[in-house]
Amino acid sequence: MRLGLLGLLICINGLVLAVSSYERQLQYEGAPATITVTVRDEHGVPVEGALGEAFYWSTVSNTESEVSDYSDENGNLLFREKGYCDAVFRITKGGYYVTKDNVLFQLPAEAPEHFWQRKEWAPTHLDVTLKTIRNPIPGWLYAGKVITLPRYDIPLGLDLQLLDWVPPYGEGKQTDVILSFHLVDKQNRQEKWQEIKGVTFTFPNPGDGVQVCAASMDSSFLTDYSVDVSKPFLSTLTLTIGQKESPSRFLRPNTYLAFRVRSKVNKDGVVVTANYGSICYRIHISKRGLFFAGGGFNPTSNDTNIEFDPKQNLMPKRYKADLLKDKSLKEKTSKEKKGYENTSF
């Protein structure tokens, strides 16, 4: 029995080594790699005439190539090129937001038995959504602004339109949300210090609150088009850092926050008027400052639209990127955002 089990383990180990060997060979030499993509809009309707551009490269052999195709009447397009490890592609068409994705090539299911007969990567199929550009609006946009963190041992009131602390720590006009910071003690051989490991958003005004929403990771337009007021709003939300997260990152890229503030309610507690907005891409909070990498505030009362136009930023110049004083934080967040907003490879 032991010999039989040992033999089985040896066979499995040999198969894994063989597959790994074949995979490494393809990563170095390259082999045909086929990617088929079906392009649809947010309603599931096929999009014809969308341009797909795929970029294949190898970090092993320092080889790269590019291929393109247009989607047909069924929304299908095809990339076929020599692949080494993975590829990145983008889909574009006028009137739609850019969508990007990447593919990690896999060995075919029959490998390694029939590897030498085929010697190509397993074909990959992906369904892609192109989100329509509907009604981009001006807004008080957050990207590019860092505000210093004057204190982290007490709750601080934040104006979500100006993205500034209320007096005495800033020039904010209204407390839309109160931020409370959770600290943990750190120590090494030389010193002791405290790090911010959590933050609680508290919305003090009746009717105000926040929603945690799923983001469109592959689209250059990350959020929904509007805030869904039929869903409940949380008056309190605590965000913490996962073990594998950056020590100052409090919002994961697959989620965003939609908020309602400055609500006025009637005698029955029903919201009559309010303002809406979003916080997306990243939230960075450290003792150096606070940074919302995306999103904004819609100044029009009762307008739930959060499809902000980055070219129509209402944030006054004195509140914009010229206030960025922390160069290291600016550079760090700028690099992270490129994966979402940069439309070039």
Q: How is the chain split into domains, by residue range?
A: 29-130, 137-341
Tell me the average pLDDT across 115-130.
80
Distance CA 287, CA 166 (A): 18
Do residues 137 and 278 make contact, with C-beta atoms less than 8 angstroms apart?
no
Distance CA 212, CA 217 (A): 15
The pLDDT of residue 318: 57
Indicate the range of 31-35, 66-70, 128-132, 193-197 predicted with least confidence.
193-197
- Torsion sign over Cα 271, 275, 276, 282: negative
Measured in degrees and rounded to the nearest 5, phi and psi for residue 319 equal -105, -5
Both tokens of residue 126? Answer: 């992906």
29-130 topology per CATH: Protocatechuate 3,4-Dioxygenase, subunit A (2.60.130)
- The pLDDT tens digits of the residues spanning 245-282 come to 565 578 887 899 999 999 999 999 999 999 999 999 88
The pLDDT of residue 242: 65
141: pLDDT strictly greater than 60: yes
**pTM for this model (two decimals):** 0.81
Measured in degrees and rounded to the nearest 5, phi and psi for residue 87 equal -150, 155
The pLDDT of residue 221: 95
The pLDDT of residue 246: 60
Element (H, E) at 289: strand 289-298
Do residues 240 and 184 make contact, with C-beta atoms less than 8 angstroms apart?
no
Range picked from 1-10, 65-74, 249-258, 308-317 for highest mean pLDDT: 65-74
158: pLDDT strictly greater than 50: yes
Indicate the range of 9-13, 57-61, 96-100, 185-189 predicted with least confidence.
9-13
Nearest to 336 by CA among 292, 281, 291: 281
Do residues 67 and 80 make contact, with C-beta atoms less than 8 angstroms apart?
yes
198: pLDDT strictly greater than 50: yes
Element (H, E) at 29: helix 2-29
Distance CA 248, CA 205 (A): 28
What number of residues does the chain have?
A: 345
- The pLDDT tens digits of the residues spanning 4-40 come to 444 433 343 443 334 456 667 777 777 888 999 999 9
